Structure 1
């Protein structure tokens, strides 16, 4: 595709409301001076995409108007930004989907823009008007979001850059992990990617937990030294990890992470729990002097992830289990809802 072939509409995956997912034409916005046009190759189906489809909301982000989904995307620049910023046409790229902003002026650390109160994210209904995502054959994106991919890194492999960056940020929140024992509760795509990042970072032992056989197998292939059934409370408690990662987004998972962490250890909370109070054993965290640490999205870790995928030191091959043409997005979403039979599900746009 060249610049003269950029049409006024393109095929997109749009959530119209709870249970209403459509693959339909969407407008291709006119690029601003700092915008590039990207031909999307792959998009990964995320839990938030599933929530918008199934429930019409992701946490407190309520779908009020139709919205193009998708923030885990990679593709090729077909028109570079007119102001000369960003990658040139023909460059394969991954996308950093965040736009930090001051919002209501609430305080946050300046070196952690992921916590800025006005931060927007591709494919998010957190604000009105919503921020459309990039599940489309063509996407107009700010050039600052684009990260050129190294030679030899296939776009399909690069499709995991965004969720791998979430895992990389989480491992960073844990502190030094080299030579230590780690527990990962929840072995879905984010959990399995956390395992892969821990392996690269030199963790001596990585124990992965899940309810289902497939995610446990994927976790082993990603680098887990041992796996445990989530229903075996005694086995989880016996892990006595130096650091634990809760990636399931379930209060029972957070309870397991607390119980499986040794005295004086750290629990990194990655999975987004439901809004409101949660029934977790906080008294145990107090008496063990555990550090409970939140982990939310990521910042510039995406650049390290791109480099690690490019040099082969971060192994993510086992984590993608299904690939669908974008026209079959509904089947892809239905597949992704079943954690027992799928890992990361990709949509193929071009």
Structure 2
């Protein structure tokens, strides 16, 4: 089968790979659509960050070179002899999170963490084999393209949960990349009264308005903290740091009201420094999220199926697997008008 394989920084190769052997509890999926995530882009531009290189990952037992892709959906081709919930022809999506699975749902994502497509072979391939516990049926109202958006949408939903957000509160989204845009979608669905988005790209800010932002700020032209305070003099109830650099982290703290919450969603490529007194003197709380609880993944499917969550507007491109490096990773690295690029593999709907 054809697959996009990570060998190292700036080294992803589309090549022929063997299909993994089907185990008794496994599901073989013919991938229809897969999304390129910011985590994938970090691995391409700066990696290895999460991908195991020097030794096998303790949860998956795998190491590079690995087939990337953790946002994907497709059609079941075959199931293992112990699998009863799924059958050939089912339309499914995949929760890529791999944990030890011995903690309760609320802290499962911190019970060790790996991901299909980062720590073991993933969905940038014609076919993928995963354990049935990662597989979720797609409702009839969702297309397979929609199925490739569920995983990143779940990140935004979990972020809103982590902030203990309440209907009518105000939010600031610092960084209008794909996860920032999806956090806007989630905040709108949660009943935010004001959603202030900031980014360096006017194109991304236009996209932010399309998906639900009530105010946008180009933080390259204007001081974002001052501009937020013009809209909300005391600061916002909740800010979401989705850029992953020191200045934006500090700005998120400064634009949050006393006893408000900053939720860190982004992956930081390097350490940052800040003065903890900025928290001590304001009562601002910091929390974070890396992925999502299993229940959040199912809730995201349900809310997308009934129209409460509409992430489809963040898609800015659809490409072929053969073109994933130039038209995918390089385009996302160099063209800030791009947000979410989907890779069409079988392209079934």
TM-score, structure 2 length as denominator? 0.90
Equivalent residues in 2 for 1:89-100, closer than 5 Å: 89-100=88-99
2:341 match: 345
User: 1:22 aligned to 2:18?
Assistant: no
Which of residues 238, 241, 249 in structure 1 aligns to 2:236?
241
Deviation at 1:61, TM superposition (A): 4.3
1:323 aligns with 2:318: yes
Q: What do residues 294-320 of structure 1 show as CA deviations (whole Å, max 9, x unaligned)?
A: 111111211011111111111112200
Task: Give 3-state SS (helix, strand or coil) of 2:228's partner.
Answer: helix
Gaps of 5+ in 1: 1-9, 126-130
Counterpart check, 1:135 vs 2:99 = no
> After the TM superposition, which residues 266-281 of structure 1 pair with which residues of structure 2 at under 5 Å, given as runs?
266-276=261-271, 278-281=272-275
Structure 2: distance between partners of 1:275 and 1:191: 20
The superposition leaves residues 53-85 of structure 1 with CA deviations (integer Å, 9 ceiling, x where unpaired) of 233412x64545311111011111111232134
- 8 Å Cα contact 1:15/1:69 also seen in 2: yes
SS in 2 for 1:141: strand
Q: CA deviation at 1:102?
A: 7.1
Q: CA contact under 8 A between 1:80 and 1:86: conserved in structure 2?
A: no
Q: Secondary structure at 1:50's aligned position in 2?
A: helix
What is the TM-score normalised by the length of structure 1?
Answer: 0.89
Q: Residues of 2 paired with 1:12 and 1:204: CA distance?
A: 44
Match of 1:6 in 2: none
Offset at residue 339 of structure 1 (A): 5.2
Give the C-alpha shift of residue 258 in structure 1.
Answer: 0.7
Structure 1 stretches of at least 4 aligned residues deviating more than 6 Å after TM superposition: none
Give the match for residue 292 of structure 1. 286
Corresponding position: 1:77 with 2:76: yes
Q: Conserved in 2, the CA contact under 8 Å of 1:42 and 1:159?
A: yes
Structure 2, gaps ≥5 residues long: 55-63
> What are the Cα deviations for residues 90-129 of structure 1, in whole angstroms up to 9, with x where unaligned?
11111000121179xxxx7773110012x2211224xxxx
Q: Which residue of 2 aligns with 1:121?
A: 115
Counterpart of 2:157 in 1: which secondary structure? helix
User: 1:214 and 1:141 mapped to 2: Cα distance?
Assistant: 37
1:211-250 Cα shifts (integer Å, max 9, x gaps):
1012111111111111111232221344410011111111
Q: 1:121 to 1:264 in 2, by over 3 A?
A: same
How far is the alpha carbon of 1:263 from its aligned partner? 1.1
What is the DSSP-based 3-state SS (H/G/I as helix, E as strand, rest coil) of the residue aligned with 1:57?
Answer: coil
Distance in 1 between the 2:173 and 2:116 partners? 27
Relative contact order, CA 8 A, sep 6+: which one is greater?
Answer: 2
Deviations 1:194-224 (A, max 9, x none): 0001101111111111110121111111111
Is the aligned partner of 1:156 residue 2:163?
A: no
State whether residues 68 and 124 of structure 2, in contact with CA within 8 Å, keep that contact through their aligned partners in structure 1. yes
Deviates more, 1:279-288 or 1:205-214: 279-288
Q: Any idea what SS the aligned residue of 2:34 has?
A: strand
**Alpha-carbon distance in 1 for matches of 2:214, 2:275:** 27
Could you tell me how far apart the structure 1 residues matched to 2:334 and 2:298 are? 31
Deviates more, 1:63-72 or 1:40-49: 63-72
Does 76-85 or 219-228 show the bigger shift? 76-85
Contact 2:31–2:72 under 8 Å retained in 1: yes
